[in-house]
Amino acid sequence: MKKYRIITIIAGIAIILLQSSYILSIYGRFIQDMTLKIDRACKIAIDEEMLNRQLRLNRLMMSFSKEQDDSIYQIIPRVEYIDIDIDNYRELGVFETSSDVYTHSSEDKHFRLNDLMDMLVLDSLFCAKAPLELPHRFRLLDKELQTVDSIGNTHITHINYSKYQPLGLRGFQTLQLDAEIPIGVFVKDEIGPLLQSLLMTLIALFCVLFQLTVIRNKEEELKQRDEATRYIVHDLKTPITTAMTIAETMKALNDDKLLHEAMDYNYNKFNHVLQQVEELKDATSEDGTRYKLQMQQVNVFKIAERVKEECDLLFADKEHSVNIVNSLPEGYEIRANVVMVERAMRNLVENGLKYSDHGVQVDLRLSLTEKNVLIEVQDNGWGIEAKYLKKIFKLYYRIPFEGDYERRGTGVGLTSAKSAVLAHGGKIWVKSKPGIGSVFSFTIPRK
Ligand code: ADP
């Protein structure tokens, strides 16, 4: 899959994940807020219901005779000692304050008198205090956690709130409240942020998809342009080679020195254009330079001489010198594709002569390393800023020079040189300093 498609998918997923985590966080806050409110309503309802029964018992006991008093105190001792570890209660989340503990201590007495919690009263108190109308149920559980009594909606399934509240200090009873905080309430309460988030997600996804479509269209356009270029380039080759043949024929038919010079000049110019046309053809060809290389025994020094000769003629108008520094053994040959090695070398020498001022010197050094033939092209021209060093090998890339520094070009030369070198299994690299010059180097494996 293409890189930009992968990046688009990653961006889409990231946007959705970010927005989901935002919605989850506001949902978490909403549930937390609701939980606090329901906790409070439940606590108040239990407290008021217990207080009701206590007051009722007090009133009843005030009207008791001495015998009735005695008999009731046989069931519930007047003073009952129990170890109260408030920290432990707090840790368990059962009671918060010592007054909670005090209130609950009387609940044990009510239990002994079989004066159990009035679930109807509890439920109506809870409904009055609850923050909203919630599907819920209360269950009163005994010591074995079996349901003794219950009230409310017994069929709720999506329980997202549960609270256990022991009644009394001796674990005789526990009250359980289950409730469902409906998602609809959340949506209604948080409609603003939710719509905002949805809108943001849609806008961001739209932008990403729009970019993707633009890139795809551009890619398609480039493909069509490449195809058109290929046709034009193909048609250009015939008139150029014809013009070159005419130049050679005219030279052969005429002895005039001036005409010979003019024909040589023309021949060279046409040859240069032909090379560029070939490079453009390779650069725009669908399978790049992955075609099979025609290998033969190649004398690298001879290629260098040819390149120097051509470049001297091509840059006849510019004060320059091209020096070949040959450290190869005499007559040294490697197996390579002569056209491609020449193309790489010529491109580098031409660039050295092109991106420089009058008086430029280009050294073309040929040497052997353990496994390769090393070709270095050093110039004392304008040099290249570090930020451009990687980009210049990309197809159609040109450093944005202006004014006196502007030179005609296509941005194909270095790409073509690079693919020629890579096709041989070699490497190409550059070192450069602005204002000092550049050294372009490449290797061609010896075997
Ligand atoms: P072109 O020369 O047609 O622009 P190239 O692919 O050969 O395309 O080069 C790409 C760019 O790299 C050039 O536009 C130029 O700015 C820069 N460049 C290449 N060689 C040199 C050099 N020897 N010195 C300075 N700049 C260079």
Lowest mean pLDDT among 52-56, 68-72, 120-124, 381-385: 68-72
User: Ligand 1 pocket check: which of 346, 347, 351 to mutate, most ligand atoms within 8 Å of Cβ?
Assistant: 351
Residue 100: the pLDDT is 83
**Interval between CA 258 and ligand 1 midpoint (Å):** 34
Per-residue pLDDT tens over the stretch 147-189: 999 999 878 888 889 999 999 888 889 999 999 998 888 898 8
Residue 72: the pLDDT is 80
Nearest CA to ligand 1 atom 12: 392
% of the chain beyond a pLDDT of 90: 55
Residue 46: the pLDDT is 94
Mean pLDDT of the chain: 89
Does the pLDDT at position 108 exceed 70?
A: yes
**Interval between CA 242 and ligand 1 midpoint (Å):** 30
CA angle 45, 48, 53 (to 5 degrees): 125
pLDDT band at 127 (very low <50, low <70, confident <90, very high): very high
Q: List, chain by chain if needed, residues with CB within 6 Å of any ligand 1 atom.
A: 347, 351-352, 355, 379, 381-382, 384, 392, 398-399, 409-415, 438
pLDDT band at 271 (very low <50, low <70, confident <90, very high): confident
pTM score, two decimals?
0.58
Does the pLDDT at position 272 exceed 60?
A: yes
Residue 238: the pLDDT is 85
Rounded average pLDDT over 91-107? 83
Per-residue pLDDT tens over the stretch 29-46: 999 999 999 999 999 999
**Interval between CA 382 and ligand 1 midpoint (Å):** 11
Choose between 427 and 280: higher pLDDT: 427
Query: Which atom of ligand 1 sits closest to the CA of residue 415?
Result: 6
Residue 29: the pLDDT is 92
**Interval between CA 388 and ligand 1 midpoint (Å):** 10
Residue 249: the pLDDT is 92
Nearest CA to ligand 1 atom 19: 351
Residue 357: the pLDDT is 94
Nearest CA to ligand 1 atom 18: 351
pLDDT band at 101 (very low <50, low <70, confident <90, very high): confident
**Interval between CA 409 and ligand 1 midpoint (Å):** 8
pLDDT band at 293 (very low <50, low <70, confident <90, very high): confident
Query: Which atom of ligand 1 sits closest to the CA of residue 347?
Result: 7
Per-residue pLDDT tens over the stretch 206-240: 998 999 899 999 989 988 888 888 788 878 888 89
Q: Three-state secondary structure along the chain?
A: CCHHHHHHHHHHHHHHHHHHHHHHHHHHHHHHHHHHHHHHHHHHHHHHHHHHHHHHHHHHHHCCCHHHHHHHHHHCCCCCCCCCCHHHHHHHCCCCCHHHHHHHHHHHHHHHCCCCCCHHHHHHHHHHHCCCCCCEEEEEECCCCCEEEEEECCCCCCCCEEEEEEECCCCCEEEEEEECCCHHHHHHHCHHHHHHHHHHHHHHHHHHHHHHHHHHHHHHHHHHHHHHHHHHHHHHHHHHHHHHHHHHHHHHHCCCHHHHHHHHHHHHHHHHHHHHHHHHHHHHCCCCCCCCCCCEEEEHHHHHHHHHHHHHHHCCCCCEEEEEEECCCCCCEEEECHHHHHHHHHHHHHHHHHCCCCCEEEEEEEEECCCEEEEEEEECCCCCCHHHCCHHHCCCCCCCCCHHHCCCCCCCHHHHHHHHHHHCCCCEEEEEECCCEEEEEEEEECC
Does the pLDDT at position 2 exceed 90?
A: no
